[in-house]
A and B are shown apart, each in its own frame.
Chain A
Amino acid sequence: MSQHVHEHIDSVGTYVGILVLLLIATVATTLVSFIDLGNFSVVAALAIAVCKMLLVALFFMHVRHSTKLTKLVIVGGLMWLAILLLLTLTDFATRGWTGPGR
């Protein structure tokens, strides 16, 4: 039952590369926020944040090499966060809707 864990030891170069990408993304998100993108600016900010999250998770947290179960746990956790946000929004986004004829 215990699948043996193969230790993947990433090179220093990989980690440095990821760090550089993360720093660039930080500068990018800051600069992008000074450009008027309308409603899209939230999307841009979140998209960059999600990319950064993926870099940290996949490389620094070794999710790349993790078991399927770990990946399932992570995806599940994010799904539950989505449930919390989206179902709460079903209320707040439809406040005041009274339906057809009003």
Chain B
Amino acid sequence: MEDSHAQAETLALREQFDTEAQQKDASTLGMWIFLITEIMFFGGMFAAYTIYRSAYPTVFGVASSSLNVTIGAINTCVLLLSSFTMVMAVRAGQLGQRNMIIFFLIITLIFGCVFLGVKAYEWTEKYEEHHMPGQIAFHLDGTPLQGPAKLFFSLYFAMTGLHALHMVVGVGILTFIILETKNGKYSADYYTPIDIAGLYWHFVDIVWIFLFPLLYLIDRHLPK
């Protein structure tokens, strides 16, 4: 029984749908709703950030200035580039150019990994500077308020960590899609998974677009 149903449904059109358009619509809508969930997920942290930044503006400025703004800006650019290559991959999907899909997805993957690598480097640096909240030797120069300074770095690690976790998941998804493309699963008629993975990837990019100024660019004008 189960087998016959399984045969009846093709990859491009699952049994519960009537038309391919209906299926694509449903998948896209599903992804967007999932992204809304993600907005709220990050939203909790943004709420905490808002409260504590307004409570301790000076400390947040000092702590923010201890981050490496050049690296942060470059990493932002890397992520934006990856978004560009991602959308190019989706475009290749629309046109059914299988080799181009793979090419652009691999570039996206590389950019994603570069971003994560740079992030790892930044975290190591923070660890060595004793800026990690879990460390007993935590200390931030330039402010007597070590508690709120810790709060900043807690938020920094929680937010960038959560973002990085999403990147890791994204890298996994891209790898899967590259393999599936290789196996010839997608065509100009059916490339919904690439499209949806793209939405996810761009969303993660957007989160970073906000994290970068909020974490790296507070009170940069003040003398160090």
Contacts and interface: CB of A to CB of B under 8 A. Distances in A.
B80 A23 contact: yes
B36 A36 contact: no
A35 B35 CA distance: 34
A45 B214 contact: yes
Interface stretch (B2-10, B86-94, B139-147, B177-185): B86-94
A85 B54 contact: no
B209 A88 contact: no
Interface string A72-100: 01101110110011001100110000000
Contacts of A56: 83, 202, 205-206, 209
Interface string B203-224: 1011001101110111111100
B214 A57 contact: no
Contacts of A29: 212-213, 217
A60 B84 CA distance: 7
Interface bin, chain A? 35 or more
Interface in B22-49: 22, 24-25, 28-29, 32-33, 35-36, 39-40, 43-44, 46-47
Nearest to B84: A19
B47 A85 contact: yes
Contact of B80 (A22, A33, A85): A22
A74 B50 CA distance: 22
Contacts of A34: 220-221
Contacts of B29: 69-70, 73
B128 interface: no
A74 B36 contact: yes
Contacts of A88: 47, 50-51
A19 B95 CA distance: 21
B69 interface: yes
Contacts, number: 137
Interface bin, chain B? 35 or more
Contact of A19 (B81, B203, B213): B81
A11 B19 CA distance: 28
B36 A76 contact: yes
B214 A23 contact: no
B81 A15 contact: no
A30 B69 contact: yes
A78 B73 contact: no
A102 interface: no
Nearest to A44: B213
Contacts of B219: 41
A57 B206 contact: yes
Interface in B79-119: 80-81, 83-84, 86-88, 91, 94-95
Interface of B: 18-19, 21-22, 24-25, 28-29, 32-33, 35-36, 39-40, 43-44, 46-47, 50-51, 54-55, 69, 73, 76-77, 80-81, 83-84, 86-88, 91, 94-95, 198-199, 202-203, 205-206, 209-210, 212-214, 216-222
Shortest 5 CB-CB distances between A and B: which pairs? A77-B36, A33-B217, A45-B213, A33-B220, A36-B221
